[in-house]
Structure 1
Amino acid sequence: MSFGLSQSSRRRLLGVHPALVAVVEAAIARSPVDFLVTEGVRTPERQAALVAAGASRTRRSRHLTGHAVDVAALVDGRIRWDWPLYGRIAAAFKAAAQELETPIIWGGDWRTLRDGPHFELDRRVFP
């Protein structure tokens, strides 16, 4: 099954680094789980609010520079947060990134504050 990005997801990709946009587009086409982009570029105020709420631990998020996106799994048109869905989406992101030779980091691979919906460009290649 092949999915595509909605217009709202495309709007949320405005200002995101073109290399990451290409990975998102390739990932949605190969993902076995539909998803939408919930957030791309963030303002410093939004990031500060997420830190205050405990949803983020840094004010230096890659979202601030357009180097990160968050997604949400869609099952039967409804957002789902079941962890296994994000592993399947991540596999599509990783395969797309490898094909495009664009190194990415999945928040689900982090040792602390694992973040399944989060994908970012590897800062060693995209500072």
Structure 2
Amino acid sequence: MAYSLGAKSLANLAGVHPDLVKVVKRAIEITTQDFTVGEGLRSKAQQAANVKKGVSTTMRSRHLDGHAVDLLPIVNGKPTFDWKFYYPLAAAMKQAAKDVGVPIEWGGDWKTFKDGPHFQLPWASYP
């Protein structure tokens, strides 16, 4: 089944680095797991609120400079945080990154504070 990004997802990509946008757009073309863009560029105030709530651990988030996106799998028409749906989404993002020649990191691969929705451009390649 072919999926596409909706208007809200496209709006949530505003301010995101064009290389990461290319990866997300390629991923939606090849994914087996529908998804939505939950968040891209984030304000300092929103980041501070996320740290306070415990859903983020840093004020150095790549969301602050448009180098990260949070993607949410869609199941039965609704976003889910169920981890089993992140694995096919991550596979599509990783393949899309290879397809367009852009390195990415997935928060689900982190050793601590695993973050399933989070995909970012690496600091080393995008300081």
Q: TM-score, normalised by structure 1?
A: 0.98
> Which residue matches 2:13?
13
Letter matched to residue 65 of structure 1: D
Partner Cα separation in structure 2 for residue 79 and residue 10 of structure 1: 16
1:57 aligned partner: 57
User: Structure 1 CA distance, aligned partners of 2:115 and 2:17?
Assistant: 20
Measure how far apart 1:26 and its partner are. Answer: 0.4
SS at match of 2:99: helix
Q: Quote the residue 1:112 is aligned against.
A: 112
Q: How does 1:1-127 map to 2 (within 5 A)?
A: 1-127=1-127
Cα deviation digits, residues 4-44 of structure 1 (max 9, x gap)? 00000000000000000000000011111100000000000
Cα distance in 2 for residues equivalent to 1:80 and 1:42? 21
The letter of the residue matching 2:51 is V
Instruction: Give me the whole-angstrom Cα distance separating, in 2, the residues matched to 1:42 and 1:81.
Output: 20
Please list every run of 5 or more consecutive structure 1 residues that lacks an aligned counterpart in the other structure.
none
- The Cα of 1:123 is off from its aligned counterpart by 1.3
The alpha carbon displacement at 1:101 in A equals 1.0
Q: Over residues 62-108 of structure 1, what are the superposed CA-to-partner deviations in whole Å (9 max), with x where a residue is unaligned?
A: 00000000011101211122111101100000000011110000000
- Following superposition, the deviation at residue 117 of structure 1 comes to 0.5
TM-score by length of 2: 0.98
Structure 2: tracts of 5 or more residues without a match: none
Distance 1:7 1:87 in 2: 24
Q: How many residues align?
A: 127
SS of the residue 2:72 aligns to: strand
